[in-house]
Amino acid sequence: MLKRVTRLVPRACQLDPGHFLHGGPQAPQSLAARLDDQVPDENPRAGSHPSEDDPVRTFNEACLMVRRPALELLRHLDDTNFAHPAVRYVLYGEKGTGKTLSLCHVVHFCAKRDWLIVHVPDAHLWVKSSRGLLRSAYSRRRFDQPVEAANWLKSFKTANERFLSQIKIQETYMWNKRESTEKGRPLGEVVEQGLTRVKNATDAVGIVLKELKSQSCSGAFRLLVAVDGVNALWGRTTLKREDKSLMAPEELALVHSLRKMVRNDWHGGAVVLALSQTGSLFTPRMACLPQELLGKEGFDALDPFVPILVSNYSPEEFESCIQYYLENSWLQHEKAHTEEGKKELLFLSDANPGQLERLCAYL
């Protein structure tokens, strides 16, 4: 779920000017595209959560607060040895502490450095309430999800335009009796095929991921796999088969290909994952640790990984957040400018970023 983007805080002198993430409404396109990805589909009945879809529209800018967990991750990414297998970083923490936005920050950082980004904004959407489920043509046991696959291909195309013509596929793929993509054609054609023939979209996604994984070792590009809500891949689904029994996630082709992608049997990039209890199915509300959310299967699949805890705001971060809101005139209540008001906000939100945002929305 997209939380309010908060202001940039120059954290000591470790930041170089490349890290300033202050984007206007026109640029950066990629960040805006990713921010839009994370918005759930416009639904007139989605009134339970107030429309916090567009900080760009409200503030005329998109800002992120630079915080310690993200900085730690960026430092690790800078020091990666691309000859070793891909390291998996898992962002975990309480609800509303900023895991998704730290992930966004990392994605932005890598995009600025021209990595190839494979970003899944919310893996929970793939295991819930899918309208068109088809039997996969490739494997009889699995199911396709054309709508989700097509959406993902669209955002992948916008995010990685340049690479689509550079990367050439290494095998011939037969879509059906009449259509096929030859070996040596650019990856863009596979993506186009998936977008035009929506029935083949899931297979197109599988092919794209497979090709990227095999070719990342060559060194032509650096690959970043960023998945939010990764506990969905090993949880339970609410999708039903024809005989009304619930499916396991392995039976979904998209989940199957993504699971292969987050294994550490490739090198030339990194894998950054964020856990999320908010959209997950059949998990207790208080669960936030990797062991609780991923379950035994998921934990063993992801083991070994680097866990990164994302916690509530420190006093300086809280102060900085309030200052940002005051500068943008988002806090309009006259008492919010006073010391009393700030103390009350701190008490009510307990320095939790998500809660503070919801409080300041109506003040």
Min separation Cβ 38 and other proteins, Å: 18
The CB-of-347 to other proteins minimum distance in angstroms stands at 10
Buried b (16+ CB within 10 A) or exposed e, 172-191: ebebeeeeebeeeebbbbbb
The residues in 234-263 that bind other proteins, with binding defined as CB under 8 A, are none
Nearest to 111 by CA among 71, 209, 103: 103
Q: Among residue numbers 51 through 110, which ones bind other proteins (CB under 8 A)?
A: 51, 57-60
Collapsing DSSP states into helix, strand and coil, what is residue 224? strand
Closer CB to other proteins, residue 50 or residue 85?
A: 50
With respect to other proteins, which residue has the nearer C-beta, 127 or 322?
A: 322
Shortest CB 312 distance to other proteins, Å? 21
Q: What is the distance between the alpha carbons of residues 352 and 77, in angstroms, rounded to a whole number?
A: 27
Kindly state the smallest distance separating residue 343's Cβ from other proteins, in Å. 9
* CA contacts within 13 A on the Cβ side of 3: 25
3-class state of residue 260 by DSSP: helix
Q: Is 320 helix (H, G, I), strand (E, B) or coil?
A: helix
User: For other proteins, which is the closer residue by CB, 1 or 294?
Assistant: 1
* Number of residues in contact with other proteins under rule CB under 8 A: 22
**Which phi-psi region, left, alpha or beta, contains residue 109 (left: φ > 0; alpha: ψ -120 to 50)?**
alpha
- Cis ω before 304 (30° cut-off from 0): yes
Closer residue to other proteins (CB): 282 or 362: 362
The first and second tokens of residue 352, run together, are 């939790």
Stretch that binds other proteins, among 168-176, 278-286, 299-307, 355-363 (CB under 8 A): 355-363
DSSP annotation string for 27-49: S-HHHHHHHHHTSPP--TT--SS
Q: Which of 302, 316, 204, 296 is nearest to 253 (CA)?
A: 204
* Contact between 22 and other proteins per CB under 8 A: no
Alpha-carbon torsion 150, 154, 157, 160, what sign?
A: negative
Q: Which is nearer to other proteins, 44 or 315 (CB)?
A: 44
Helix (H) / strand (E) element for 113: namely none
Q: Binding to other proteins (CB under 8 A): which residues in 295-354? A: 329, 332-336, 338, 340-341, 344
Cβ closer to other proteins: 42 or 334? 334
Of 45 and 162, nearer to other proteins (C-beta) is 45
Q: Examine residue 290 and say whether the peptide bond preceding it is cis (omega within 30 degrees of 0).
A: no
Give, as ranges, the residues between 29 and 58 that touch other proteins (CB under 8 A): 44-45, 47, 50-51, 57-58
Q: How far is the CB of 361 from other proteins (least distance, A)?
A: 4
Residue 51 or 170 having the CB closest to other proteins: 51
CB of 8 to other proteins, least distance (A): 20
Helix crossing, 29-37 with 99-112: angle to 10°?
150
- Least gap, CB of 362 to other proteins (angstroms): 4
- In the complex with other proteins, the residue whose CB is nearer, 237 or 349, is 349
Q: How far is the CB of 175 from other proteins (least distance, A)?
A: 41
Helix H or strand E encompassing 74: helix 68-78
Q: Could you give the CA distance from residue 190 to residue 20 in angstroms, rounded to a whole number?
A: 35
Q: How far is the CB of 42 from other proteins (least distance, A)?
A: 14
Q: Which stretches of the chain bind other proteins, using CB under 8 A?
A: 44-45, 47, 50-51, 57-60, 329, 332-336, 338, 340-341, 344, 361-363
